[in-house]
Amino acid sequence: MLTEGEKRRYARQIPLLGIEGQERLKGSKVLIAGAGGLGSASSYYLAAAGVGHMRIADSDAVDLSNLNRQILHRVPGLRKTLSAEETLRSLNPTIEVEGVDVCISESSIDDLLNGIDLIVDAMDSFEARYILNSAALEHALPLVHGAVSGFDGQVTTIIPGRTACLRCMFPKPPPRDAPPVIGATCGIIGSIQAMEAIKMLTGFGEPLANRLLIWDGRCAQMDEISIVRNERCLDCGSRSV
């Protein structure tokens, strides 16, 4: 049930989502996996939109070199989860924000997913992304994948039992790297991830299911590739669709 204050706060989006859609957001729990560039942009918009419970997992402290793109953070040296909690609570005091200072691993992921309705992939390595992918399949949770490099980025929404999974698209991890990135690239891709999450949580619109969206910032061009599930995928191949 929305309060009168919440109805006023969300007055410019309730005409789109309806009271019911807004209440669905309020009743939702989202895991933001990573409080970096993508986690900053996606969590900002999800918090502002009124997702009732945001759990943000990260195990790093803020570094000065993060601040060109990680707009959750202001103070180098602070734990990112604390910084994220402060920023998002200040942005929207009506929601619950829970920072979890932990490295995402096979041993930590199940606890992180307790009660969660949707995962936003804001990680910086494919090894960690594969852990999210397997857990999303195991727990039948939608996973909104995003990644950035330089001026470029990509997004897709993985719906267990319905779409190709992350490993169907990217069967082997690319070499580890810490690519340079323009902060606005994180803003673009993280915002699309937030939009995908809102659509999945409320049931509105068409998600990026079996579609990989690729943003080329140098040319300001958005392309799309249709993706087909791999029946022999190591992660989802043995699961029925």
Q: Nearest approach, Cβ of 56 to other proteins (angstroms)?
A: 13
Judged by CB under 8 A, the residue of 179, 203, 205, 237 near other proteins is: 179
- Nearer to other proteins among residue 177 and residue 206 (C-beta): 177
The alpha carbon torsion through 116, 119, 122, 125 (nearest 10 deg) reads: 100
Q: Which residues 6+ apart lie within 8 Å of 177 measured at CB?
A: none
> Is 49 in a helix, a strand, or coil?
helix
Quote the longest CA-to-CA distance of the chain.
51
- Nearer to other proteins among residue 169 and residue 200 (C-beta): 169
- Nearer to other proteins among residue 36 and residue 207 (C-beta): 36
Asked whether position 16 contacts other proteins by CB under 8 A, the answer is no
Report d(CA 88, CA 52) in Å as an integer: 12
- Helix (H) / strand (E) containing 15: helix 14-26
Q: Mark 180-219 with x for binding to other proteins (rule: CB under 8 A) and - for no binding.
A: -x----------------------------x-x-x-x--x
Judged by CB under 8 A, the residue of 56, 62, 95, 122 near other proteins is: 122
Report d(CA 119, CA 199) in Å as an integer: 13
Judged by CB under 8 A, the residue of 98, 204, 230, 234 near other proteins is: 230
User: Which region among 9-17, 103-111, 145-153, 198-206 touches other proteins (by CB under 8 A)?
Assistant: 145-153
Judged by CB under 8 A, the residue of 21, 99, 146, 187 near other proteins is: 146
Give me the numbers of helices (H) and strands (E) for the chain, helices first please.
8, 8
- Nearer to other proteins among residue 25 and residue 132 (C-beta): 132
Q: Nearest approach, Cβ of 91 to other proteins (angstroms)?
A: 21
* Burial track 26-37 (b if 16+ CB lie within 10 A, e otherwise): bebbbbbbbbbb
- CB-CB contact of 185 with 150 (8 Å): yes
Q: Mark 147-166 with x for binding to other proteins (rule: CB under 8 A) and - for no binding.
A: xxxx-xxx------------
- CB-CB contact of 98 with 56 (8 Å): yes
Interface with other proteins by CB under 8 A: which residues? 34, 36-39, 121-126, 146-150, 152-154, 168-172, 174-179, 181, 210, 212, 214, 216, 219, 223, 225-228, 230
